[in-house]
Structures are given as structure tokens and as C-alpha cells.
Amino acid sequence: MRLIRKATTEAVPLENGFLFSDEFDWKPVEQNIERAIDGTLIVQEGKKKSGRPITLLSKTDKQGWIKRSNLSVIQEWSALQGEQFTLVFEYPHDIRQFNVIFNHAEGAIEATPVRGVPSISEGDFYRATFRFLEVP
């Protein structure tokens, strides 16, 4: 996996062990159901155009880690207002790409050191959760 900053084409590698935890939670159709005074069912439907949440998380202690150096870059990118990114999956069975922004409303980034002690080098690993929103 990679996260690419569109403005500069810089890329940060993400370990393939991150779990797309809300992959099947997205409901692409919004539906509003009401009843008329006489009891008639009124259904309004519309297809959502964007806003799909994409959450990548470290599900276990053995995968979904990121080096502090790469985490620092992503943290800096998350503070850039108006920037868009491409999230690229690079699995043999899944080569999707998503145009995303950071989901600050839900807490864009969470990270803790794998060893549970303060980091001493840029090569130290962190368990992380990244929250994005898919945009057009």
C-alpha cells in the first residue's frame, strides 16, 4: 500500500498488514422513509456521490506497523489544509485506488509505539490507525 500526496507525487509506503476495517460498512444509497397522512409509504432514495469512510488499522500486534519516519510525514500531510491524496492498494487480488482526504472529524491519525516505550530512532515501529474520506 502507498499514500501519495497529489500536489507533489511524494509517496509514503504503508505495510500491507493494515486492515480496511469499514470496507463493507459503506452504504452507497441514502434512503428516507416516511408515511403520508393516509398511511401511504413515501420512499426517497439517492446515490451518495462521495464521503465513504476508509479506516486503516493495525488489527494485531504482528502487522500493520509503520516506521516513525513515515508516520511523521503522514502526520505533517494531515495538517495540510485542502490537500488530496491517493491511497493505493497493491495486493495481488486488490489493486484499487481511492482519492482521499484525512477524516479529522473522526480523529485522522492515532499511533502508539509497538514496543510500548518512547521512540529512540526514526526506524522504530508504531501501530497506527488512519482515517480518510473518499472524495471525488
Q: Would you state the pLDDT for residue 76?
A: 97
**Cβ proximity of 46 and 29 under 8 Å:** yes
The tens place of each residue's pLDDT in the chain, 136 residues long, gives 999 999 999 999 998 889 999 999 999 999 999 999 999 999 999 999 999 999 999 877 778 899 999 999 999 999 999 999 999 999 888 889 999 999 999 999 999 898 877 778 898 999 999 999 999 9
Give the cell for residue 108.
485522522
Query: Would you state the pLDDT for residue 58?
Result: 86
Cα–Cα distance between 51 and 130 in angstroms, integer? 15
So where are the chain's domains?
2-134
> Cα–Cα–Cα angle for 10, 86, 24, nearest 5°?
145
Considering the entire predicted model, what is its pTM? 0.86
Nearest alpha carbon to residue 116 among 125, 103, 106: 125
Q: What is the pLDDT of residue 109?
A: 96
